Structure formats: structure tokens, C-alpha cells
Structure 1
Amino acid sequence: MTASAASLSDPAAARRPRICLGIETSCDETAAAVVVSDPAAQPGQGRPLG
């Protein structure tokens, strides 16, 4: 089961979008919206993750 599938079946997971940032490459739309609205959360932008 992928993280996206888990989010679809688990409403609570959909409210925790940051759990997949930088870990999964195919997050749900909620996580994508967070990344778009928060440039610092995107790898390569904002402060270095490393």
C-alpha cells in the first residue's frame, strides 16, 4: 500500500501531509498543496535540508 492509498482510506493521515514530504515521491494533493504554499519545505529551496 502506498502513502497515497493510505491517505485515501485514513482521513487522519490526510491531515498530516508533512509526514510524506521528502520521503515519498507521490504524496496526496494535500501534501502537494503544502509544498506549493511553503517553499522552504521543497528540497533545494529555502534552507538546506542536509
Structure 2
Amino acid sequence: MFSVSTANRGNCIQVADQPPEPSSTLAAFIIVAALVFVVLLAVILE
């Protein structure tokens, strides 16, 4: 997880002057999905 996020940050720094790449969108989608999953899990456990 941490290595992936670090790699994504490196990619973002390298392509800062270029439009966002699909990989950045995919990473953001995965992060949002993980947050939603954690929230649902917390609601279920409560």
C-alpha cells in the first residue's frame, strides 16, 4: 500500500506539467473505494 502511494506521488511529481493520466484517476478511485469500504465496515460493526 505505502509503496504504491509513494510511487504514485513520484509519478505525479514527474508529470506535474502534463494532464492527469488514467493511472492517477484509477488510484483516486481506489482510494475513494477504500474509504467507502472502511465507512461501511464501521457502520456494520456498530
| Higher RCO, Cα 8 Å, sep 6+ | 2
**Normalising by the residue count of structure 2, what TM-score does the alignment of the two structures yield?**
0.28
**Normalising by the residue count of structure 1, what TM-score does the alignment of the two structures yield?**
0.26
Greater share of helix: 2
Give the greater-gyration-radius structure (CA): 2
